[in-house]
Amino acid sequence: MKNQITFFLVMLFVLGCSSSSDNEGMNDDGPVGGDPTDDYSPPDDDMPPMDDPDSVRLVSNGTFGSILTDTDGRTLYFFSLDSKGESNCIDGCLSVWPVFHASDLTLDEGLDSSDFGTITRTDGAMQTTYKGWPLYYYADDSVEGDVNGDGFNDVWYVAKPDYSVMKVRAQLVGRDSGGVETNLTSNYEPGDEQTFYMTDAYGNTLYLFSNDENGVNNFTADDFSNNGVWPIFEETLMEVPSTFSSGDFGSIDVFGRQQLTYKGWPLYYFGQDEERGDNYGVGFPSAGIWPIANSDTETAPEPPSTTISYDVANQEASAYVLDGDGLSGAVNPDLTLQRGNTYEFNVSAPGHPFWIKTVQSIGTGDTYNDGVTNNGTASGTVTFAVPNDAPDTLFYVCEFHIPMTGTLNIVD
């Protein structure tokens, strides 16, 4: 019996030692010498390695939105004097605005490699460009996310991918109708002067037409047959450099196409500007007819007010009778109204309220009230400032008598 007890105790000891030895010697299931009560996660052989940041990153900035930075998050900048795609920051300028160059260019998602290039500077160094604009750092940006260089001397701007226009400073070189080129000042007089003006995102000069009016293109033909001479600037406004105000920009419809405006002025290219940075249009056909646009540009003049008046009477309950603008005693005449013009209907027809409507029906339903004042009067003036989005066909109708009606044809 004693021998059996002894054998049992020995076996317990052997089994206990065997279990302890297995835990301490884990190789596949855990670290050697580890505490078996510790949490352990085996390495994931399928996890991809961490990629290095791209050499040009697209970073969200709290002030400027999407901006371009280098791989470490340092902000990149544009220089207004570089409108021709060559760097004009040389010598001492470089101590404040160091050159950015990425020899092995990699880009964040959302950036297009076709927008990037490399130039050889006059000092022999290489420099990376974006949309033709050489890229720089600002020496006083000390940490990632700094944008201290934006607006510096009105010529340095945070590099963004979504500028619709750019602000540049360069010599104006006008070319007249005879092909003669002349250096011009900001007053379009012969002379040398660095002038601020606006280009598109790729450095192509934008112009105003001195005969245009606020929101009115007076140059482009309805078939665009002259668009090659002065192409309209068709751009959806996104972002602008910080010295411009986005509120100064707008858009107008030009025969079914959208043209960007600045302070009410429609914006154009010049067909004879062959390369970025050219501004020959300021001299064509003579200086000042097609000026450049900048922050000093005054708001475009309002088009002259055009108000056409009609006197409206009634012929019992059978018809309205209209006089004015070439009409004399016209019975229920159809009228042609132009968008943007204002029309006055001086109504003197007691018992026959004069309504402008979308359908020819009696009653007060289906009235058209956009731009209409005093609609439905029988003794007073109905004023109709025809909006640009007015439908092509409207009607004037008596509230009570369907024979008293006529068609309003709306045209541009």
Q: What are the tens digits of pLDDT across the range 144-171?
A: 999 999 999 999 999 999 999 999 999 9
Cα separation of 246 and 288, whole Å? 25
Residue 306: which pLDDT band, with cuts at 50, 70 and 90?
A: confident
Contact by Cβ (8 Å): 167, 93: no
Span 215-229, pLDDT tens digits? 999 999 999 999 999
Structure tokens at 109: 């998602």
- Residue from 323, 312, 384 nearest 350 by CA: 312
Look at residue 381 and tell me whether its pLDDT is greater than 90. yes
Structure tokens at 347: 């109504």
Span 163-218, pLDDT tens digits? 999 999 999 999 999 999 999 999 999 999 999 999 999 999 999 999 999 999 99
Span 267-283, pLDDT tens digits? 999 999 999 999 999 99
Considering the chain, what percentage of its residues have pLDDT values greater than 70? Answer: 88
Report the alpha-carbon angle 286-291-295, nearest 5. Answer: 160
Cα separation of 70 and 103, whole Å? 12
Considering the chain, what percentage of its residues have pLDDT values greater than 90? Answer: 85
Contact by Cβ (8 Å): 80, 95: no
Span 109-142, pLDDT tens digits? 999 999 999 999 999 999 999 999 999 999 999 9
Look at residue 245 and tell me whether its pLDDT is greater than 50. yes
Residues with Cβ < 8 Å from 269, sequence gap 6 or more? 200, 204, 205, 206, 207, 230, 231, 232, 233, 281
- So what's the pLDDT on residue 28? 37
- The domain ranges of the chain are 56-162, 166-283, 307-411
Task: Check residues 376 and 37 and name the one with the higher pLDDT.
Answer: 376
Residues with Cβ < 8 Å from 33, sequence gap 6 or more? 24
pLDDT, mean over the chain? 89
- So what's the pLDDT on residue 375? 97
- So what's the pLDDT on residue 39? 36
DSSP string, 352-391: --EEEESSS-SSSSSB--TTEESTTBSEEEEEEE--TT--
- So what's the pLDDT on residue 269? 98
Residue 340: which pLDDT band, with cuts at 50, 70 and 90?
A: confident
Contact by Cβ (8 Å): 166, 82: no
- Span 250-259, average pLDDT: 96
- So what's the pLDDT on residue 382? 97
Question: Dihedral (C-alpha) 88, 91, 94, 95: value to the nearest 10 degrees?
Answer: -160
Residue 51: which pLDDT band, with cuts at 50, 70 and 90?
A: low
Query: Where do the DSSP E strands lie in 99-201?
Result: 116-120, 126-130, 133-134, 156-158, 165-175, 181-184, 194-200
Residue 2: which pLDDT band, with cuts at 50, 70 and 90?
A: very low
The burial class, CB within 10 Å (0-12 / 13-18 / 19+), for 58 is middle
Considering the domain 307-411, what is its CATH architecture? Sandwich (2.60)
Span 54-79, pLDDT tens digits? 899 999 999 999 999 999 999 999 99
